[in-house]
Structure 1
Amino acid sequence: MFTCLQSEDLFAQDIPLPENLPDEYLFGQNQKSDPKIITKKGVYLFKNKWSYSDYEKIYPNTFILENLNEFNNQNFNVINDSLSTLIIISGGGHVFSSTKKSIKRLDSSVDQKNQFYSSLFLYNNQSYMYGGYGFWTFKDYITTFDKSTGQWELVSIKSDYVPEGRWKAISHVMNDKLYVLGGRNSPKESANKDVPLNDFFYFDFLNSKFVNLGETNQLIPTVNSVNSNVIINEKKAYLDNDKIIIFDFIKDTVTSYVSKNIFEGIDLKNPVVNRQDTLYYIKNVNNNKLLARFPINDLNQIKPKTYSISSKKELPYKSYFAVTLAALLCWISYRLFTFKDHLKGLVLFDERRLYFNQNSSLVTEKQLLLIQHLEKKSFISSSELNTIISSKKYVKSHFTLLRTEFIEEINIILKSVTDNKRDLIEEIKDPLDKRYKVYKINAQISKREPFLSFLFKI
């Protein structure tokens, strides 16, 4: 689904490229993120308008540029260190340094043609390349440019896990790690050529090790890099005609903003510059190249879609957990059924109340003592009941009256709670000695217990 932005507003952001601009140039930025165009003879810088500076000095060793491929962002990569803009030939080898004052060659290497479409990045103010393609093989190593020797050197890797070689990978450096996602290669075991990869990993510079982060989410909009990329709020973003895709490797998310012709005419061969929250990029309109501007806040007009970068595959322990959980739920259901069956017909009690089904009633401390006794023995003798009723010594006839009143009161409570018309506690002759009377309860009685304690009772 596309969201349309007003084309006249976007077109108003377009700026003509400098007059008399030669056909061969590189687009990039300076250390202050101002867009600039590098030519073999000087530098154009854009702030509020274009300004031009001839090189004060062109070192003789840069004349080799005349014998190399066309001077553009396809054949050369631009990257800024702390002092200058480095111009690195695609595939590795020659390295040049460009400032407002001069252009000079830094390397003593050759046109290596060994790491085309590698991931070029700066770490600790030093240039690196990961992967790439050259001489019919995809590279799985990292090289770094040694300024002291002018040569590209292999980075030592102390890792059992080494991802397969690739080119055109999505990558970003942060927190002493090079994050890499996807890219393309031609698997040896397959007849397919230049197929997309679906892995995700990082290289830890502090430990010199690759760390596997698993497979990528199949819903990710892209796993291939293009030159039209930029850093936005420390996240790597890739632009296309109708979308911008932003990778947050720390949070493991990728966010896609799609709107028809949002970056209409963008030249995917050139990088993108982020200056003061505005994106600058080269666009082509009717064979006329322009510098386009896009305020990043305009993305708020578009509803984004966010995906996880890594594939959330179910781990083996999750299956065991699911089986255990299912068994536990079955056990709980069974115990709940038996618990309800257990409660049927029971008169329950706790420290303050009697319960039967949904009914309950308060009881006194002495009534509770009688209930607790009847739970254990189902009957109580007259002398035992006398002890509960009073600690005083009365004549036999008075105790008989007190017992009668006491039993009547608790029977009233039991009838109310159980909706029963007959007395549940009655006076009978002692089965063991007919000379004495006892008080028997004609109901099952039990102390109330929580379901959780019943659940795990064996």
Structure 2
Amino acid sequence: MRLFFLLVFIGFTSIAQQLYIGDSNGAKMYISDPVHQRILMFYEDYYTVVDLKTLEQRTRTLKKDPDFYFGPLASVLIDSIPYFLSRNGGLVFEMQNDSIARIDNSYEHKMQNGNVLFERDGKIFRYGGYGFWTIHNFFTYFDRGTREWEYHQHHDTKNEAPEIAWPEVIHTSDRLYLYNGIKLNPLNRVEMFKTDEVWRYTFSDGKWDYLGTCDNPVDKDNNYLFQIQQGELKYIFQDNDVTEIDILNNRKTIYRKSHKSKMGGIGILMMMDDKVVYTLGVGKDAFLRIAPKEEFFGLMISEEKFYKTSWTRFYPILGYGLLAVLLFLMVRWFYRFNKRKKRIALLSNGLQYKNKFTECDEETMKILHLLIENKRVTSSAILGIVEKPQFSPAHNERIKVQKIAELNIKLQTLLNEREDLIRSVKSKEDKRIRLYSLDKTYFL
């Protein structure tokens, strides 16, 4: 009989083959082990191992921990050793030597419904999960030393981590992708809604990145059968087609089912390697069906981007940012407006401050502009504005001093100030030169 199956298996390159499994109606759980190319079928008191390399089956008696029960359990393989975990969080069971034993000191707290469960670096990790009207956005891992679930610290605490439960998952060597999950309404914690967000976590950087949005790759009008990840590609099998998701290259390709892929229509478990697709059926006369991978997919129907870069989720942040900028500009304008009201306005024929006006001649306005535009003004520069050729140097000097004095009086009167706004000092370099400066408080 074994020789017959081997001969049949050798010929599967042209015809899809099958291996008779028998009655699988009582199977409680199926685990595929791609590393050792085997499928484990668990029943109440025994389990069956299907060796995909030799197409042999062997059945062994199963011993179970008193706390163990087949029900809402998830499974993870670490070095091909099966671990069984309560889906809601807490309990951990390990299978060794045909026995399933509990190895944790925790309890089934039911705080991680819909969490993401995966293996990394020989440890069991969970992300997120719903409980107590909250979706958690952090990682936990099972510590074999403490036999408890511990918190996994992010390296990058600047970026937001997504609050998503029951997502679809693609797990690569260094990245975890989440899409099409469930979120909570932050204003109504009992209200859940579907999200089209796509997120990526990079383990080496400890960093979350929001990638965009995607349509659900499962067609509601097309009966959903099974999904499987092979390497970094994910395949979704439905009645009429197969969807391939290449998350690294952001590509979604839909193939029409071939006549061989349709043999997996009743499949409840699938496994794939580089060359072969295995489909395990269920029923009184169950078969493991085998087909070459290149013949499993039909004609390509369409190809497009899997997710679209979207900034819509940042619109509220951008709105708050624009509002803050607008508020800043308004405050700045109001400040300048008030400051401008306290400034002296230089007119062509005089000075105006608030509701007061003082008239000035052309020479006085020139002197004032010169003092405003320069930090220090020499006596000769002011003298050049007021001097008259018909007068002696001494007389012109008196005219200059008088102009400065009159301007000081006008400014004091206009501003109701007692101190002179125009002052003079001797130059440090040449004591014969006098320098004039203006207090510009009311001008700038």
Local SS of the residue matching 2:294: helix
Aligned residues: 290
Local SS of the residue matching 1:65: coil
Pick from 211, 218, 230 the counterpart of residue 228 of structure 2. 230
The structure-2 alpha-carbon separation of the partners of 1:248 and 1:306, relative to structure 1 and needing over 3 Å to count, comes to: same
The structure-2 alpha-carbon separation of the partners of 1:292 and 1:299, relative to structure 1 and needing over 3 Å to count, comes to: closer
Pick from 233, 250, 253 the counterpart of residue 251 of structure 2. 253
Match of 1:262 in 2: 262
Match of 1:242 in 2: 240
The structure-2 alpha-carbon separation of the partners of 1:288 and 1:136, relative to structure 1 and needing over 3 Å to count, comes to: farther
How many Å separate the matches in 1 of 2:92 and 2:173? Answer: 26
Match of 2:91 in 1: 94
Q: Which moved more, 1:289-298 or 1:172-181?
A: 289-298
The answer (yes or no) to whether the contact 2:135–2:163 under 8 Å persists in 1 is: yes
Unaligned runs of 5+ in 2: 1-12, 313-444
Match of 1:39 in 2: 43
The answer (yes or no) to whether the contact 2:255–2:298 under 8 Å persists in 1 is: no
Map 1:326-345; keep pairs closer than 5 Å: none
How many Å separate the matches in 1 of 2:129 and 2:14? Answer: 36
Aligned-pair RMSD on alpha carbons?
Answer: 3.6
The answer (yes or no) to whether the contact 1:117–1:133 under 8 Å persists in 2 is: yes
How many Å separate the matches in 2 of 1:88 and 1:313? Answer: 36
Map 1:398-413; keep pairs closer than 5 Å: none
Per-residue deviation at 1:248?
1.7
Match of 2:180 in 1: 182
How many Å separate the matches in 1 of 2:25 and 2:107? Answer: 26
Per-residue deviation at 1:156?
1.3
How many Å separate the matches in 1 of 2:269 and 2:113? Answer: 16
The answer (yes or no) to whether the contact 1:161–1:212 under 8 Å persists in 2 is: no
Per-residue deviation at 1:51?
1.5
Per-residue deviation at 1:128?
1.0
Pick from 305, 318, 328 the counterpart of residue 308 of structure 1. 305
Match of 2:8 in 1: none
The answer (yes or no) to whether the contact 2:15–2:291 under 8 Å persists in 1 is: no
How many Å separate the matches in 1 of 2:111 and 2:29? Answer: 22
Match of 1:52 in 2: 59
| Counterpart AA for 1:120 | L
How many Å separate the matches in 2 of 1:100 and 1:241? Answer: 39
How many Å separate the matches in 1 of 2:32 and 2:123? Answer: 18
The structure-2 alpha-carbon separation of the partners of 1:296 and 1:113, relative to structure 1 and needing over 3 Å to count, comes to: farther
Pick from 268, 271, 274 the counterpart of residue 273 of structure 1. 271
How many Å separate the matches in 1 of 2:78 and 2:225? Answer: 19
Residues 55-83 of structure 1: per-residue CA shift (max 9 Å, x gap): 4xx46xx11014xxxx15xx111221115
How many Å separate the matches in 2 of 1:193 and 1:264? Answer: 37
Local SS of the residue matching 1:302: strand
User: Does residue 200 in structure 1 map to residue 230 in structure 2?
Assistant: no
Map 1:407-422; keep pairs closer than 5 Å: none
| Counterpart AA for 1:27 | Y
The structure-2 alpha-carbon separation of the partners of 1:10 and 1:136, relative to structure 1 and needing over 3 Å to count, comes to: farther
How many Å separate the matches in 2 of 1:144 and 1:44? Answer: 30
The structure-2 alpha-carbon separation of the partners of 1:119 and 1:10, relative to structure 1 and needing over 3 Å to count, comes to: farther
Per-residue deviation at 1:106?
1.9
Residues 297-343 of structure 1: per-residue CA shift (max 9 Å, x gap): 2234332422212214599xxxxxxxxxxxxxxxxxxxxxxxxxxxx
The answer (yes or no) to whether the contact 1:28–1:273 under 8 Å persists in 2 is: no
How many Å separate the matches in 2 of 1:65 and 1:219? Answer: 35
Map 1:67-106; keep pairs closer than 5 Å: 71-72=70-71, 75-99=72-96, 101-106=98-103
Match of 2:144 in 1: 147
User: Does residue 111 in structure 1 map to residue 108 in structure 2?
Assistant: yes
Q: Structure 2 length as normaliser, TM-score?
A: 0.56
The answer (yes or no) to whether the contact 1:13–1:292 under 8 Å persists in 2 is: yes
Per-residue deviation at 1:132?
2.4
Local SS of the residue matching 1:262: helix
The structure-2 alpha-carbon separation of the partners of 1:114 and 1:191, relative to structure 1 and needing over 3 Å to count, comes to: closer
Map 1:354-369; keep pairs closer than 5 Å: none
The structure-2 alpha-carbon separation of the partners of 1:120 and 1:243, relative to structure 1 and needing over 3 Å to count, comes to: farther
The answer (yes or no) to whether the contact 1:140–1:162 under 8 Å persists in 2 is: no
Unaligned runs of 5+ in 1: 1-8, 316-458
Per-residue deviation at 1:34?
0.9
Per-residue deviation at 1:251?
0.9
Per-residue deviation at 1:105?
1.7
Residues 409-435 of structure 1: per-residue CA shift (max 9 Å, x gap): xxxxxxxxxxxxxxxxxxxxxxxxxxx
Per-residue deviation at 1:178?
1.4
Residues 114-172 of structure 1: per-residue CA shift (max 9 Å, x gap): 22232211111211112222333323222211111121222212323324422221222
How many Å separate the matches in 2 of 1:313 and 1:164? Answer: 15
The answer (yes or no) to whether the contact 2:198–2:214 under 8 Å persists in 1 is: no
Between the aligned residues of both structures, percent identity stands at 17
The structure-2 alpha-carbon separation of the partners of 1:54 and 1:92, relative to structure 1 and needing over 3 Å to count, comes to: same
Per-residue deviation at 1:227?
9.5
The answer (yes or no) to whether the contact 2:135–2:183 under 8 Å persists in 1 is: yes
The structure-2 alpha-carbon separation of the partners of 1:314 and 1:146, relative to structure 1 and needing over 3 Å to count, comes to: closer
The answer (yes or no) to whether the contact 2:16–2:291 under 8 Å persists in 1 is: no
User: Does residue 64 in structure 1 map to residue 62 in structure 2?
Assistant: no
The answer (yes or no) to whether the contact 1:241–1:265 under 8 Å persists in 2 is: yes
The answer (yes or no) to whether the contact 1:244–1:256 under 8 Å persists in 2 is: yes
How many Å separate the matches in 1 of 2:15 and 2:107? Answer: 43
Match of 1:23 in 2: 26
How many Å separate the matches in 1 of 2:118 and 2:149? Answer: 14
Per-residue deviation at 1:252?
1.3
User: Does residue 120 in structure 1 map to residue 124 in structure 2?
Assistant: no
The structure-2 alpha-carbon separation of the partners of 1:306 and 1:100, relative to structure 1 and needing over 3 Å to count, comes to: farther
Match of 2:360 in 1: none
User: Does residue 299 in structure 1 map to residue 306 in structure 2?
Assistant: no
| Counterpart AA for 1:262 | K
How many Å separate the matches in 2 of 1:89 and 1:227? Answer: 24
How many Å separate the matches in 2 of 1:304 and 1:105? Answer: 48
| Counterpart AA for 2:87 | S
How many Å separate the matches in 1 of 2:112 and 2:263? Answer: 29
